[in-house]
Structure 1
Amino acid sequence: MTITDLDARLAGLSLAELELLEQELAAKLWQKRWQKWTPYPWQVPPDEIETLGWWLQLGGRGTGKTDGCARYMVAHVNGPPCDPRLRGGHRMAIVAPTQGDAVEACVNGPSGLRAHDPRVVLRTTAGGTFARWPSGAEAKLFGAHTPDDVERLRAGGNRCLVWMEEVAAQRRLGEAITHSEMGLRIGPNPHYIASTTPKPRTELIALTKREDVTVTRGRTRDAIHLPQAQRDHLMRKYAGTRIAAQELDGVLLEDIEGALWSRTGLDRARVGAAPPMARIVVALDPAATSHDESDEMGIIVAGLGQQYIPDRNGFQRQHGYALDDLSGRMPPVEAARRAIRAYHEHRADAIVAEVNNGGEWIGTVVRQIDPTVHYRTVTASRGKVTRAEPVAALTEQGSAHIVGSLPDLEEQLVTWVPGDASPDRLDAYVWALTDLMLAPAGNLAAVA
């Protein structure tokens, strides 16, 4: 048949016939892609997952964790209906660090749902954002970053399957698990699938020790779909480090010998909500220069409680509270704007910024953007260990607390060992708590 003959035949079809042909071709394309997929051993799900149980993939970078979960969800949709009364038989949920992550990684990404089943479409309605199949089956997309995200999960409806993407990166992981579990009630065997590069999160460690959680593990060095040269480069660069163990070998590190902070200590001092504050500061620890976007800008909001409360030694004192972590890789102007927004939103008393290593640019940028901000600088004349040890001691004494969960900051605290280069979130946290609890008010430079 020539192209001209084909065009003529297509022109003779009705709109309904063209739509049916398109559906048939999409189904054939899906079958072709589906049959070509070869899983890694750790992408093979367990034969059976308990009701409300988990299949958890722990793996290094590039090991196909998202790929394995997307494949599982597509197979679930095309399997027996969980509730035959529902159109398509399935109502599922995808929970990622943010809703944007769910869209980008879990649906549209190269390892997402559409890569396994091109018939999936993304729809946003008044009720939320959904991945939908032609059968009518759907997966609603959620984030787990803000209190509003948690409230959406609370009202998220009933589901037969929940996919938790990048579990260790979800700021409100505990609440996300609680509220999603409340809605897991469709069908005879509602359950979770989950994927993550491991981080020392309390909730994640607890999951790996549960009897109803099946854990599969993958290593970057074994991910043969990645170029060998790339795998060799990563292993050479990070061999023997904690980064290699966690980010490449998928090892869930717990307490690390020599670290000043312990996960147990952070959990023991953790509080669910902040009390009234006497003072609040926004601490900013910059990258080395105003042109350096390769390192993180540490931005930590912390406060000093109004009440005098006994610590574990019985000493009456005002306690310190880490309220928010706004750190990240960003241009200097964005870092200054983010710190200024936090200053106003939290009604802070000051922005405190370190000016070692070329950080003098901060004051110039802050004053250009908002000259009303109370801004002061600190200069470190003592080593990082000498500055960090008293702040770590505050946690052990039960007088320094993290409000809720700040997973990226917590990971840096429990994995940093004196002698290593200290990360910027940790440095900003140390500056904030030193200013609030260990230095004369407004005179941090005198002791730093």
Structure 2
Amino acid sequence: MTALDDLDAKLRGLTPAELELLEQELAAKLWEKRWRRWRPYPWQVPPDRIPTLGWWLQLGGRGTGKTDGCARYMVAHVNGPPCDPRLRGGHRMAIVAPTQGDAVEACVNGPSGLKAHDPRVVLRTTAGGTFARWPNGAEAKLFGAHTPDDVERLRAGGNRCLVWMEEAAAMRRLRDAITHSEMGLRLGANPHYIASTTPKPRTELIELTKRDDVHVTRGRTRDAIHLPAAQREHLMRKYAGTRIAAQELDGELLTDIEGALWTRDGLDRTRVGAAPPLARVVVAMDPAATSGDEADEMGIIVAGLGTQYLPDRTGFARRHGYALDDLSGRMPPVEAARRAIKAYHEHRADAIVAEVNNGGEWIGTVVRQLDPTVNYRTVRASRGKATRAEPIAALTEQQAAHIVGSLPELEEQLVSWVPGDASPDRLDAYVWALTDLMLTSAGNLAAVA
């Protein structure tokens, strides 16, 4: 009998309980081996201590291991002293990502997630939610921060000792996510946050970097030596000197841009939590200017005009405009039309309005093929983009145009676009929507009616 046969016989002789115990022991050894081999970047090293309700905030470019650093921190936290000895495993944590699916894919199952650092982690979905769990009973509940329902789940998320905010700057409802997760961050003697994100000039993120209890580490793509050198060089060469390089590769938190028509402070001053009763709603579409792997986005913005006449900053009574949703993205034409039609019906819109100067003639054809009941009309640009955008920016300055909740991608484009640059598609769709609702004769006549 060979050694392999002898081992097989011994394994067959074990009871199910003994086999489970052996499996756990082997998994523990595999985890310890992987754990010892990990070599962090300097910006992945957390502070010695994070204050109670304070933060370790990793701001970094693409590929700098932000998720990797937070996953390792959470695994180390689980294997450290229990935050509450009364609990099985001693720890109840939370992972909040832009969507719950993002939390599963990036933070647990992904190549930089919890399982990569500790293969003993299992993902379980129960009536109470979706959890990452360890053999000792410690758990991390997974949340999203995209819809109002996500925020409500955070309200009932239970007490936690550690909250990991993944890609915080990309969260649709970041402020609410922070508020409601903080309410439940009260387990143990030192509950706190860790966060990983490519920086975007979100007001909440800017505020965090100014706090004394927030420890910020920063990483640059060019220094991420574990990435393929050809990839790093290609990205740096392609985007050198641009805002994209500063933000997405160097991890810089950029604030308001000189010459931009919108400011972050202006958007925040006019922000509202919910839209009032609306007289009209439109879904505005701006077609992608390019196609292929590096296609521009298709801009799809839903906006409405209030029924009431309210004073603006000057005291003039007028109907105000409200940006309700941003459905933009890179997608095939048919998907873009389906998305706009769905929004048209969900918001009981008056029309889908599409710009056709820039190759958008296809929109009407596809929309009518998919749903001939939709009221569809086109707009054509007779003036330059800056000339079209300036009156809409003025509406924000006059506090007559508002963003409902938070639309991070749209807001980023508004505060970063400078006339003369190529205008992004979300911004263009937003300008078309507000122009139709508030500045055109057709819009005004419909509102009066």
Per the normalisation by structure 2, the TM-score is 0.97
Instruction: Show the counterpart of 2:70.
Output: 69
Q: CA shift at 1:36, angstroms?
A: 0.2
How well do the aligned residues superpose, as a CA RMSD in angstroms? 1.4
Q: Which residue of structure 2 aligns with residue 298 of structure 1?
A: 299
- Superposed displacement of residue 13, structure 1: 1.7
SS at match of 1:100: helix
1:112 is the counterpart of 2:113? yes
Q: How many residues align?
A: 444
For residue 160 of structure 2, what is the amino acid of its counterpart?
R
Contact 2:290 2:296 in 1 (8 A): no
| 1:373-413 CA-partner distances (Å, limit 9, x unpaired) | 00000111211111111111111111111011100000000
Which aligned pairs between 1:175-254 and structure 2 lie closer than 5 A?
175-254=176-255
Following superposition, the deviation at residue 21 of structure 1 comes to 1.1
Separation of aligned partners in 1, 2:348 and 2:13:
69
Question: For 1:114, what is the secondary structure of its paired residue?
Answer: helix
Give the superposition deviation at 1:289: 6.6
| SS at 1:275 equivalent | coil
* Runs of 5+ consecutive residues of structure 2 not aligned to the other structure: none
Q: 2:331 is paired with a residue of what secondary structure?
A: coil
Q: Deviations over 1:286-328 (max 9, x none)?
A: 1137878822111100011111111112221111110111111
1:353/1:377 contact within 8 Å kept? yes
**CA deviation after TM superposition for structure 1 residue 222, in Å:** 0.5
1:215/1:293 Cα in 2 relative to 1: closer, same or farther (>3 Å)? Answer: closer
Report the 3-state secondary structure (helix = DSSP H, G, I; strand = E; otherwise coil) of the residue aligned with 2:358. helix
Structure-1 residue corresponding to 2:50:
49
Establish whether residue 369 from structure 1 lines up as the match of residue 374 from structure 2.
no
Provide, for residues 186-227 of structure 1, a one-character-per-residue CA deviation record: whole Å limited to 9, x for no partner: 100000000100001000100010111110000000111101
Q: Secondary structure of 1:203's match?
A: helix
What's the counterpart of residue 414 of structure 1?
415
Aligned to 2:326: 325
81-90 vs 313-322, which deviates more? 313-322
Cα deviation per residue 1:40-73 (whole Å; 9 max; x = unaligned)?
Answer: 1110000111100000000000000000000000
Structure 1 match to 2:175: 174
Q: Judging changes above 3 Å, is the alpha-carbon distance between structure 1 residues 78 and 271 closer, same or farther for their aligned structure 2 residues?
A: same
SS of corresponding position for 1:358: coil
The yes-or-no answer on 1:164 pairing with 2:182 is no
> Equivalent residue for 2:90?
89
- Alpha-carbon distance in structure 2 between the residues aligned to 1:164 and 1:220: 21
Question: Aligned partners of 2:406, 2:189: CA distance in 1, in Å?
Answer: 33
1:277 alignment counterpart: 278
Secondary structure of the equivalent of 1:427? helix
**Equivalents in 1 of 2:116, 2:302: separation in Å?**
40
Whole-angstrom distance in 1 between the partners of 2:12 and 2:92: 38
In the alignment, residue 440 of structure 1 is paired with which amino acid?
Answer: S
Q: Specify whether residues 293 and 331 from structure 1 end up closer, same or farther in structure 2 by C-alpha distance, changes over 3 A only.
A: farther
Shift of 1:5: 2.2
AA partner of residue 166 (structure 1): E
Gaps of 5+ in 1: none
Q: 2:345 is matched with which residue?
A: 344
Look up the equivalent residue of 1:164 and give its one-letter code.
M
Structure 1 equivalent of residue 433 of structure 2:
432
Aligned to 1:25: 26
Q: Take 2:360 and 2:443, find their aligned partners in 1: how far apart are those partners?
A: 19
Check the 8 A contact 1:109/1:115 in 2, yes or no.
Answer: yes
Q: Which amino acid is 2:222 matched to?
A: R
Specify the alignment match of 1:145 in structure 2: 146
1:393 is matched with 394
In the other structure, the counterpart of 2:11 is 10
Moved runs in structure 1, 4+ residues, more than 6 A? 289-293
The Cα shift of 1:442 comes to: 5.2
- Aligned counterparts of 2:420 and 2:4: Cα–Cα separation in 1: 70
Does structure 2 conserve the Cα–Cα contact (< 8 Å) formed by 1:289 and 1:357? Answer: no
Asked if the contact 1:293–1:329 (Cα under 8 Å) also holds between the matched residues in 2, the reply is: no
For 2:331 and 2:343, the matched residues in 1 are separated by: 16
Q: Give the whole-Å Cα distance in 1 for the aligned partners of 2:79 and 2:170.
A: 30
Name the residue aligned to 2:125: 124
DSSP-derived class of the 1:63 partner:
coil
For 1:375, give the aligned amino acid.
Y
Secondary structure (helix, strand or coil) at the match of 1:317 reads strand
The corresponding residue for 1:353 is 354
| Separation of aligned partners in 1, 2:376 and 2:276 | 25
Q: Is the 8 A contact 2:437 2:444 kept in 1?
A: no
Residues 187-196 or 288-297, more deviating: 288-297
Moved more, 112-121 or 2-11: 2-11
